[in-house]
Amino acid sequence: MSPSRYKPASILAFCYALTWGIASQYASVDQLVISGIIAIPLIWLSVSDIATQEIPDTATLAVALVGAAFQWKLHGIGLAFLSTLVLAGMLYVVFHLMGQRYYERNAVEAIGIGDAKLIGAGAICVGIDSVWAMIFVAASGGIVAALIARKRDGVTKGLAFGPFLAYSILVFILFPVSGPFAP
């Protein structure tokens, strides 16, 4: 990791640890374990997206596999598990096609294939009940960051969306909207 990547990685690790510490008062052991495991690829893909505007497929695959194992533990191989996988696949396809269409029309990338893959992987992690809240919170964070960057710099160029998705995945693993672990 280059020295320029240490600062974002340290900030992200601090934010993730703080969130995990707060959640430790409320979350189940399963939620704490999965969030601790998944934090590593989430921070890695966030730092990479900030530096290169690309999300490593290996990190997204790790997120999806850990999420699938978590959902399997929660629901077993049944309708809830399979529904989550199908929804994740559908979300990936829809967001990928929307991003591709936007790029074709405007010659500017809005949502890249890496973001679409991460939305699908995140859907596997948080489940059907929390996926829309995950997307909403990530989009809201991205919009706020873009507005701050625009006010500071006068123009927003190439804001990485992956870190917002990644943190939102962590938040909704620890604080689901509804489902077996929701308050």
pLDDT tens-digit profile, the chain (183 residues): 555 556 888 889 999 999 999 999 999 999 999 999 999 999 999 999 999 999 999 999 999 999 999 999 988 999 989 999 999 999 999 999 999 999 999 888 888 899 999 999 999 999 988 999 999 999 999 999 888 888 887 766 678 899 999 999 999 999 998 755 554
Residue 180 is assigned to a structural domain of this protein: no
Count of alpha carbons within 13 angstroms of residue 50, beta-carbon side: 21
- From residue 167, how far is each of 134, 155, 182 by CA, in Å? 9, 25, 18
Full residue range of the structural domain in which residue 152 is found: 3-174
Kindly give the residue spans of alpha helices, DSSP state H, lying in the chain. 3-23, 29-52, 57-75, 79-106, 113-126, 131-153, 162-174
Q: How many domains does the chain have?
A: 1
Asked if 131 and 125 count as a contact pair (C-beta separation under 8 A), the reply is no
